[in-house]
Amino acid sequence: MEGTSVQMLLALSSLLCCTTNQIGVTVSPSRSQFFEGKSVTLNCEDDSSAGWTLRRNISGETRTQCEEWGESSGSSCTIRYVYPADSGVYWCESRGGGASSMVVNISVSGGSVILQSPVLPVMEGHDLTLSCQSKTPPSNPSAAFYKDGSLIRTEPTGHMTLQHVSRSDEGLYKCHIRDHGESPSSWISVSERPSTTEAPSTTEAPPPASAPPPLVLRVCLHLVVISPFIISTLLLVSLCPQRASGSDPSVSMVMTQHSHAEQGLADDYDDIITCGTTEHQF
């Protein structure tokens, strides 16, 4: 059953790979595996009036439309109670027969364990988280995860994350919980990361520094020229109060000698005047 479902998915994907209708299929709840008896709603994401409808390809049926297996409402289709026979490939199709470029694979388990995995392809470089879930809470949530039949690892929490997935991570995944059983296998696809075209960067030379204004230049030159005079003046001003307030003996001696000299000159002048007068009277 699992191999047949995968073969149908790959064959249908190759058939629809060249279509130009970029219509997405959403699944609610967003997962690829369901317990039997749960409700599932699928929807064609399209704002046009092309009249998209859901179709599916399961074992024993080919290209059947929603009215034959679910409740149709516009571009959406709801299956009230899913069964293992509803496992298969689902896609959208327009009135003119054009098919969507995206298909989803849904698995319905009649057992007690399912693998919660993304229903849509995971983009290359992103992280992928898988969870192993049972109908009844297990006493030990530890789960073993498998890819293409080979054990990847056992996680004690029942959750496994693959970091930075690549195309080599594509494959069939399933999980197993001890004493509860094994989940169906689900195909997980990895889409190529879209290439981004970057515009060539142009390195521009920085604009030349503008010359200082002439006025500022003249002021700077004047300050450079007169700065020695300003410094000298400040030094003289700072020294004058110290000399005025200090008692220097040499200055006092000079002042005293100067006073005596003035007194002597005055006496000589008086003698000359007296002598001259006496001689004149004779």
Residue with tokens 């004058």: 240
pLDDT for 240 equals 58
pLDDT of residue 24: 75
Say what the pLDDT of residue 7 is: 47
Q: Are strands 186-188 and 71-73 parallel, antiparallel or unpaired?
A: unpaired
Residues forming a β-bridge with 121: none
Task: Please report the pLDDT score of residue 94 as a whole number.
Answer: 78
Buried b (16+ CB within 10 A) or exposed e, 241-256: eeeeeeeeeeeeeeee
For residue 156 the two structure tokens come to: 């004690």
Decide: residue 154, CB within 10 A, 0-12 exposed, 13-18 middle, 19+ buried: middle
Strand partners, 65: 55
Strand, helix or coil at 261? helix
Residue closest to 41 by CA, chosen among 7, 87, 75, 83? 75
Phi/psi for 35 (5° steps) reads -75, 150
How long a stretch of residues is the chain?
282
pLDDT of residue 267: 54
Residue 148: exposure state from Cβ atoms within 10 A (0-12, 13-18, ≥19): exposed
pLDDT tens, N- to C-terminus, the chain (282 residues)? 454 444 444 444 444 444 444 567 889 999 999 999 999 999 987 655 567 888 899 987 777 888 899 998 888 899 999 999 999 999 888 776 666 667 899 999 999 999 999 998 999 999 999 999 999 888 888 999 999 999 999 999 999 999 999 999 999 999 999 999 999 999 999 998 887 655 555 555 555 555 555 665 666 666 666 666 677 777 766 765 555 455 444 434 434 444 444 454 445 445 433 434 444 443
DSSP bridge partners of 109: 35
The confidence score (pLDDT) of residue 254 equals 35
